Amino acid sequence: MAKGEALAETAIGGVVLAAAAGFLIYALSNAGGFGGGGGYTVLARFGQVGALATGADVRVAGVKVGSVTKIELDPKTYLARTYLNIKSDVKLPTDSTVKITSDGLLGGQHLAIAPGSSTADLKDGGEFENVQGAVDLFGLIGQVIRPPAPAAGAAQGAAPAPAAADPYPGGD
């Protein structure tokens, strides 16, 4: 291989590495990978988080204002402690409601915040008091398709249901 060809290959390799580093820096900065975006952290406790995962969007009126940074189980209450990083320029009233919603029928999940009317704002380390956990869509569909059977003890003491009338009386 000639000296000029080796130099050209080295230069092309350097350009490829520089482009890859540029894409990595861009992706990390847009995903909040460098310091989490400098916002503030608030907590929400849910009875059911469903498929919510770290990195999920936090939205107000459909606009992304933060992301889920951590989800863990509280061993005393068995609630899912969900930590949210909210942009510092977004002030949320203390009586705001946060709920887990889906992006579509089979899409991912995100948190939707409905701002309250309080004049006080949530501070760093604050906690949402109004929460609504994830809804088990497949469980609801299953209940519609297969309603639960009545409890065995519920029919005691009740009169038996009348037999259905024979639609063809006197005939075989």
| Residue 66 forms part of a structural domain | yes
The pLDDT score that the predictor gives to residue 152 is 62
| Residue 156 forms part of a structural domain | no
In sequence order, what are the residues at sequence separation of 6 or more whose Cβ sits closer than 8 angstroms to the Cβ of residue 27? 33
pTM of this prediction exceeds 0.75: no
| Residue 171 forms part of a structural domain | no
The total of structural domains in the chain comes to 1
Give residue 83's domain range.
38-145
| Residue 15 forms part of a structural domain | no
Across the chain, mean pLDDT equals 81
Instruction: Give pLDDT tens digits for 145-156.
Output: 877 777 665 555
| Residue 164 forms part of a structural domain | no
Contact 123, 41 (CB under 8 A): no
| Residue 24 forms part of a structural domain | no
Instruction: Give pLDDT tens digits for 29-73.
Output: 665 555 445 789 999 999 888 888 999 999 999 999 999 999 999
